[in-house]
Structure 1
Amino acid sequence: MNPYQAVIDSADFYKEGWINIMSIPSCPIKVETTAAIKAFAEKYNKSHDIKIHYPMADSENAKTYIEALEWVEDPARYPDIVLFCDFKSCFTPNFKRFQAAGLYTDVLKNKRPHPFYEKFDYQDPKETYSMLGASFPVIVVDKSIDPDLPVPKSFKDLLDPIYEKKVSIHGHGAFSCDMSVVMNIYQQYGKEAVLTFAKSIKELRHFSQVVKEAGKGKKDLPPIGIIPEMFKNMIRNKDKVEIIWPEDGAPLFPLFMTVKKEKVERAKELIDYLTGPEIGQFWANSYFAAFNGDVDNKPYDDKPVRFIGWDFIYDQDILAFKEALQGEVIEIISGCPVDQQKKMKLIC
């Protein structure tokens, strides 16, 4: 039984005859990106007969809509445009069926990228997903907590036993951690390295918490945090904090977009805005590297970055792989077994 069928059938979820968009951007750009899309839609709707439906703009049900996406069986009820981060929303079994049927497309496949994107294989070989932008995690060392702790220069360094229970990474609640970092370690150094890295993690902390407490000498907190680069300028006590761009590469955390083929022409103005220089420059100014070739991104020429790559994504069920690996990491961090059948529930 589909627990979200009533939501999926509702006009709030999908409006027939409209251009339907949902966005699930990463936390550091979520509020501003949502506001920008909302403002564009409101202006657009005043002068167009075919209007934009953007339920994320005002709805208190945004989280429910996100959860419902993986239960949509009829592609006619799936959004025409989806912006999303990570591998949750549009790598689910139902969307993979839509992909196999050729219903969605990469609208940037023939567009000139920002030169930064030529450093790695950004283009989806199956021509489904566009990469709009990306953030990168950096290592923050709080010397006010443990001044004698050696400063790690890479993620590989954090596999050393001296860092056991010395690290925090981003997490939502008890069951979600920054898998861009974890999967990057898996790809570079193997499964055992991931399990070792998990032993280094003392707790899951939102990066806003890391930034807020950095340099205050709170001895009960882990002295090392991993946060998006865009948050580094919000740290106040910079004289007590060292920020490290990892020598083995900052794992790229992408913002993807996919568009229903039959709606590409109808939604052209919205697509042009989402992929254009205005919102792209806002992202770039926020240390979120934009794809648009006309945007002035921050300089990354001397900074190594890593993308797990499309081969890695397509050679396995990437969502199932991610969730299984995340479960093992969470078990080590919490010291409790996880019941995968009940969506990451601790059973101790």
Structure 2
Amino acid sequence: MNTISKNNFMSDILKSYPETTDRMNLLALLPCPLKLPLQEAFSKFVQKNNLKNLEYLIEGNANNQYSYYSFVEQLEDIDEIPDIVISPGINSFYYKNFVDKFIDKGLFVSVSQNTPNNLLSQIGVNDPGGNYTVIAMNLLVMVVDKLKIGNQSIPQSWGDLLQPEFEKKVAIRGQNNSFCETTLLTLFKQFGFEGVRKLGKAVKYGWHPSQMAKLAGSNSNDSPVISVMPYFFTKTIKHKENVEVVWPKDGAIISPVTMLVKADKAKELKQITEFFTGAEVGRICAAASFPTMHPEIDNKLPQSANLNWIGWEFIKEYDIGGLMTDLNRQFLKAFI
């Protein structure tokens, strides 16, 4: 068993693929809250099962993830991809270039063994095409600063954020010219390009969620009135007495954590994929406020929690990469 170093991320990834066929590769690009607990659990699993023919990297650095997604967009050969890839969000693995060359040709197969609990079954998170395996979900909710909302009504749905009274009062995840893809896609699905432009008017800050959590309820001059952040980060807010966590009536936005498994390696990789779809990983994800697909796991969501999933029909209908370019462009026209 070999772990890949992180000194030179891309070169190590590319060099990790052995020329011989008796080796296996795994790359897990994980949200920060899942990186350390899953890395520790997987390391113990690898040692316990003596998986000496496995090379793997579990990575939680967002900048490294972006560099890898840029590489994925240019891929021509499936041999340049690890046997298993786990990644968060609607990223380059959903873009037309990748879908046309690899997904539509059946080169990746879903390995889910789980019938999800009732809530998740109702919203159709499992891929009906049998290509992607969703192992967990990052949920985006609203956090309202009660010290700053004043006499304004607390928003109850995503559409409420598009009203003029919330212009330049909202923070979402973003950096440079790229903003949270699942937020933009969901608002586009519900309200079209006009809704995305209105969101651009509403947003004042493009931040990492940790920065939102740090300032929420702090009464700082720089803190936003409303922050759109992962449910996990609401647990880390220091000034909880000054905020209200809002589960929108139209549902917390789902950003999936997806596993891709090469179809011709699925049987050989079964022991590993069963680990990532199993109860132990399910418990780890649920404990980090990432609902899991495993039916035996209590995700501990509020009873009234609704979830908002853009759906596989939407993903298959659009050129997601091209659409994201358009959505960021429309958003930025109003944001700047």
Q: Same fold (TM over 0.5)?
A: yes
**Structure 2 match to 1:3:** none
Of 205, 209, 212, the residue aligned with 1:210 is 212
Cα distance in 2 for partners of 1:91, 1:58 equals: 20
Write the letter of the residue equivalent to 2:27: M
Matched, 1:316 2:318: yes
Alignment partners' CA distance in 1, 2:48 and 2:325? 40
In structure 1, the residue matched to 2:190 is 188
- Structure 1: distance between partners of 2:15 and 2:220: 49
Correspondence list, 1:305-344, <5 A = 305-333=307-335, 335=336
Alignment partners' CA distance in 2, 1:164 and 1:184: 19
Among residues 100, 111, 122, which one is paired with 1:96 in the alignment?
Answer: 100
In structure 2, the partner of 1:247 is: 249
1:22 matches 2:24? no
Pair 1:60–1:232, CA change in 2 (3 A): closer
- What is the root-mean-square deviation in Å for CA atoms of aligned residues? 2.5
Is 1:132–1:275's contact at 8 Å kept on the other side of the alignment? Answer: yes
2: distance between equivalents of 1:129 and 1:148?
A: 45
**How far apart are 1:305 and its partner, in Å?**
1.1
| Contact 1:164-1:201 at 8 Å conserved across structures | yes
Q: CA-to-partner distance for each residue in 1:192-250, whole Å, 9 max, x for gaps?
A: 12211110000101110111112211123321111111111211211211111111211
Change (3 A) 1:330 1:33: farther
Q: Is the 8 A contact 1:116 1:301 kept in 2?
A: no
Letter in 2 for 1:107: V
Pick which of 256-265 and 52-61 moved more. 52-61
Aligned mates of 1:86, 1:60 — CA distance in 2? 12
Q: How does 1:271-290 map to 2 (within 5 A)?
A: 271-290=273-292
Give the Cα separation in 1 of the matches to 2:242 and 2:61. Answer: 41
CA contact (8 A) 2:145 2:225 kept: yes
SS in 1 for 2:158: coil
CA contact (8 A) 1:13 1:65 kept: no
Q: Which residue of 2 aligns with 1:339?
A: none
Distance change >3 Å, CA 300–CA 117, structure 1 → 2: farther
- Structure 1 residue ranges without an equivalent (≥5): 1-5, 336-348
Give the superposition deviation at 1:20.
0.8
Q: For residue 54 of structure 2, what is the aligned residue in structure 1?
A: 52
Partner Cα distance (1:301, 1:61) in 2: 36
- Distance in 1, Cα, partners of 2:321 & 2:72: 14
Cα deviation code 1:164-214 (max 9, x no counterpart): 00000011x212212212221211222212211110000101110111112
2:42 to 37, 44, 48: 37
Distance (whole Å) between structure 1 residues aligned to residue 13 and residue 230 of structure 2: 37
Distance 1:182 1:11, change over 3 A: closer
Residue correspondences, number: 324
